[in-house]
Amino acid sequence: MAGKLEFEDLKQAVSAGEIDTVLAVQTDMQGRLMGKRFQAEFFVESAFEETHSCNYLLATDQEMETVEGYKSTSWEAGYGDFTMKPDLGTLRRIPWLEKTALVLCDVLDHHTHADVPHGPRAVLKRQIARLEAMGLKPMMASELEFYLFRNSYEEIADGARAIPISAYNEDYHIFQTSKEEDVMQAIRTGLNSADVPVENSKGEADAGQEEINVRYADALTMADRHAIIKNGVKEIAWGKGRAVSFMAKWSYDHAGSSSHVHQSLVGLDGTPAFQDKDDAHGMSQMMRHYLAGLLTHASEITYFLAPYINSYKRFMAGTFAPTKAVWSMDNRTAGYRVVGAGTAAVRVECRVGGADLNPYLAMAALLAAGMAGIEQKLELEPEFTGDAYGGEGREIPSTLRDAAALLDGSSMLRAAMGDDVIDHYVHAARWEQFEADRRVTDWDLRRGFERA
């Protein structure tokens, strides 16, 4: 794949002067890339083995606030180091940054060199290992939506009104998206040349909304790609004087942005485990159990699909964002849609997640729920047909407060991920809620300044 680097390739490129900078990065709780820019010569001589970062990086909010109350780290414990261990299988060129390569790192305990359990990559790797012990391998793809704006981050931060790049709904619209190709073509070709194989981009369901789709892959590779996509899209757009936003709901008047997650299982030899040609929908018994697990535990895993106050403002009827955790065949009103029926590519599309999710945590939670269904041989409820917005069914939690309580009480997730991991993210959710509860918003002022 274009952009992929073996370590020997990197050393040769550094020697030839083609690469002078290596980004060694980990993902934080929000799924953002955090790390260091290494002089390439030093990286290939030494830092390829390991480097270090402050352990507060897995105990902060979006503002990088050092949040108190985490068991894993604190002022009392001195905010020590993590070890960042480069996964050299993720080495790649970053073509939109001059002479730059990137490698993703696993986050290890500084003393034991064991995975830090609440590190997002480690959370996902643990669920993948559980599946491998069952003779299975998870395959996934996320569809990322975002808004592209005419103005820059700096202009918007200085008080300018954020103006979507399009004046009208551009869903599948070729002419309007032609006007955006200076950015979107750079995104597609840039990612594709960074070992992120792009399938397509398209206009989405509102003015200025875009979608990027990449190829199906094993779950860890897909989560890595997802994190690189979000960072890359921002960097490429910024380089062209534009801003993008992956907020789940940036404006009341505009559709929300999602991250649908497609998922299936294969045997360790690659044989599809979800297909049964004799089934009416082409679904194997294993797929039915897996989907039943997703539905049974849908409320408990919602936090990992919708981690912020703003995330829940996306769940509105008639906006293509679901409000019911039900399953249906090729039905975009349902929270869980079965696609590819009758083919080897039959799979589940979870439509609950917003573009603001952390891919590692979201995919891990989905896998944990699906595995619970397989292990317990849960029976799949009847297919929902029709308009799920107006029908009966399991409601998606409508607030972060509710989702946090359901996460806290999930015996399934505690068994799958560990109490310390769940307690860590429950604390993150409650901090987010606390911060929102005490803030005075523009909406408060507009509604009450004169009329209260």
Q: Give residue limits of the domains in the chain.
A: 7-116, 127-443
Segment 432-442 mean pLDDT: 95
Among residues 201, 194, 193, 196, which one has the least CA distance to residue 216?
196
- 76 pLDDT band (50/70/90 cuts)? confident
pLDDT at 302 over 70: yes
- 280 pLDDT band (50/70/90 cuts)? confident
Classified by CATH at the fold level, domain 127-443 comes out as Creatine Kinase; Chain A, domain 2 (3.30.590)
pTM: 0.96
The answer to whether 272 and 266 have CB atoms below 8 angstroms apart is: yes
Average pLDDT value over all residues in the chain: 96
- 271 pLDDT band (50/70/90 cuts)? very high
Which H or E run contains 10? helix 7-15
Which H or E run contains 266? strand 259-267
User: Could you count the other beta carbons within 10 Å of the beta carbon of residue 59?
Assistant: 25
Secondary structure class of 393 (helix, strand, coil): coil
The HSE-up count of residue 160 (CA atoms within 13 Å, CB side) is 14
- 121 pLDDT band (50/70/90 cuts)? very high
What are the tens digits of pLDDT across the range 162-189?
999 999 999 999 999 999 999 999 999 9
CATH class of 7-116: alpha beta
For the chain, report the end-to-end CA distance as a whole number of angstroms. Answer: 61
Alpha carbon distance 411, 427 (integer Å): 17
Among residues 231, 343, 356, 223, which one has the least CA distance to residue 287?
343
The answer to whether 72 and 117 have CB atoms below 8 angstroms apart is: no
Q: Percent helix, strand and coil across the chain, each rounded to 5? A: 35, 20, 40
pLDDT at 40 over 90: yes
Segment 259-279 mean pLDDT: 96
Percent of the chain with pLDDT over 90: 91
Segment 71-75 mean pLDDT: 85
What is the per-residue pLDDT for 1? Answer: 66
132: tokens are: 């491998």
- Alpha carbon separation from 306 to 91, 116, 311, 344, 386 (Å, rounded): 30, 23, 5, 30, 25
**Which has more pLDDT, 75 or 403?**
403
Segment 433-440 mean pLDDT: 95
pLDDT at 29 over 80: yes
